[in-house]
Structure 1
Amino acid sequence: MPMPAQEIERIIKTALPDAVVELTALADDNDHWAATVTSAAFSGLSRVRQHQLVNAAFGDRLGGELHALALKTQAP
Structure 2
Amino acid sequence: MSVRFLSQSEIAHLTGAKTPGRQCRCLASRGIRHFVDDDGWPIVHRDAANDDQIDVRGSGRGRSRLLSSLHI
Q: What's the TM-score once normalised by structure 1's chain length?
A: 0.31
Instruction: Considering fraction of residues, name the structure with more strand.
Output: 1
- Higher RCO, 1 vs 2 (CA within 8 Å, ≥6 residues apart): 1
Q: What's the TM-score once normalised by structure 2's chain length?
A: 0.32
